[in-house]
Each structure stands twice: as structure tokens, then as C-alpha cells.
Amino acid sequence: MSKTLFEKIVAREIPATIVHEDELTLAIRDINPQAPTHVLIFPRKPIPRIAEAQAADAQLLAHLLLKAAELAGKLGLAKGYRLVINNGPDGGETIPHLHCHILGGRHMAWPPG
């Protein structure tokens, strides 16, 4: 099975603008930003999508969300931000590796799309 884009970034096989890295997660600038600040944070462990996460992944998922919130603060998003996780083709998923979009730097409309 071939590596996902994010696995290739983790392995440094393709370049990315990394804004956070720890033993469990990596965060990069989105190459097609949908807001002034658009960062993707994802686990190093390749979980295809949130619907395929297991109970054993609970601590990793908690770490991912807590790091997303911490990173949003470091990115200057004190006025607010949106976290988005897409699941499956109808949910907008384009890369089968769980990731969370951190969007901010402008007012977010509702409904989102």
C-alpha cells in the first residue's frame, strides 16, 4: 500500500512548512488556505479517518485536539478559530489520513458549506 501525503511529509520525502512537531503529531501550513490562517495537524500514526479510529487511539485523539487548541493560541487566534475534521468523500475528505484543519484569522460564517 502506498504512503499517504502526510506519511511522506512525516518521512521528509516531500517538503512542507512545519509549524509544530512532537512525538505524536505534526502540523503544517495548508498549501491551499481557506482562511488567513489555515494549518493542518495530524497524527504521525496513519489512521485513515475518524470513523476508523479505535478505542486504543483515544489518548492520541485527545492529544491531537489539545495540541490543535494550543497551536491556535500560538498562531494568534485568540478571537476564535474553527477546527474541522472531514470524514469520507461526502464529508470533503481528500487525503485518507486523519487530520484536523485549524482555520482562523477571519470571521467564520455558518453554515460552513
Total residues found in the chain within this entry: 113
In this structure, is the dihedral angle defined by the CA atoms of residues 95, 100, 105 and 110, taken in order, positive or negative?
positive
Q: List the catalytic residue out of 20, 99, 101, 107.
A: 99
Examine the residue annotation and report whether 20 is marked as an active-site residue of this protein.
no
Q: What amino acid positions are annotated as catalytic residues?
A: 99
